[in-house]
Amino acid sequence: MTEVIDVEEKSKSKFTGGVLECFIYGLGASLLITITLGLATPWAICLLVKFYTNNTVIDGQKVNFDGTGTQLFGKFIIWWLLSIVTLGIYALFFLPVRTWAWVVKHLTLTKTAD
């Protein structure tokens, strides 16, 4: 059995960020990674995720991200060591999945006052 979703319900999901903001945050994250030779990657990831989540509403609920670069940095050390041991296989196949799983673990939804 399929659930019927009202068209008005669908309109409660939106992204409020602009093209210029997306460009600036992406450029900032890229520069941060480049200047630090990849050492600040966890902070850059958190910067981007916070930007996107702060500008996202899903089904009338605000998306919140409570992760920090410091928390992710510890995980990254372990993951990159595993990548070295596996000659890059871990980084290629598992690192993106582990990173996204960590991000999702730090997401919450709160009702907006519409």
pLDDT in tens, the chain (114 residues): 555 455 555 568 999 999 999 999 999 999 999 999 999 999 999 999 999 999 999 999 999 999 999 999 999 999 999 999 999 999 999 999 999 999 999 999 998 765
User: Virtual CA dihedral for 40, 45, 51, 57, nearest 10 degrees?
Assistant: -160
In a domain, 2, yes or no: no
Domain that holds residue 87: 17-111
In a domain, 93, yes or no: yes
What pLDDT is recorded for position 22? 96
Query: Total structural domains in the chain?
Result: 1
Task: For residue 108, give the 3-state DSSP assignment.
Answer: strand
Q: Which residues of 80-113 are buried (b: 16+ CB within 10 A; e: fewer)?
A: eeebeeeeeebbeeebeebbeebbeebeeeeeee
In a domain, 6, yes or no: no
What is the reported pTM? 0.84
